[in-house]
Amino acid sequence: MAAGQALRNLAIAAPPALALNAAVVAWARPLAPDFILLSYGVVLFWTLVGAAGIVLVHGLLARRGPGAVARIWKWVALALGLTVLPDLAMLLIGQVFPGQTVGAVWVLILLHATCAGAVMATSPLWRPKP
């Protein structure tokens, strides 16, 4: 996949993920108003990074031959599992950041899933070619 195509795919897949995660932050912000990781800037930045990661990994898989769509689901599931490990560590360790609450950390985990789900649901990468 060429860089231009990757950017077009990201331009289609990222906005729904950004909008969904912004809505989750608006809903969850009262749970921990001082928790920096639930601020719009942090959440939207990492949502964009996650969406770009999915698009780039798909591009790399597509270069390796057919079956990229089937393989991307496995990679996204693996990445989702790995990205929640720091959040789970925060639950086990206790207060790591000012304003951190158990509910806020669970919202962080939800944000990982909503980003991956929104990108996987809306990306043109996995639609059949006409």
Residue 90: what residue type? M
Number of alpha helices (DSSP H) and beta strands (DSSP E) in the chain: 5, 0
Q: Which domain holds residue 77?
A: 3-126
Closest CA to 107 of 119, 92, 90: 90
Tens of pLDDT, residue by residue over 49-108, are 999 998 888 878 877 877 777 788 888 899 999 999 999 999 899 888 888 999 999 999
The pLDDT of residue 9: 83
pTM of the complete model: 0.85
Considering the chain, what is the average pLDDT of its residues?
87
Domain count, the chain: 1
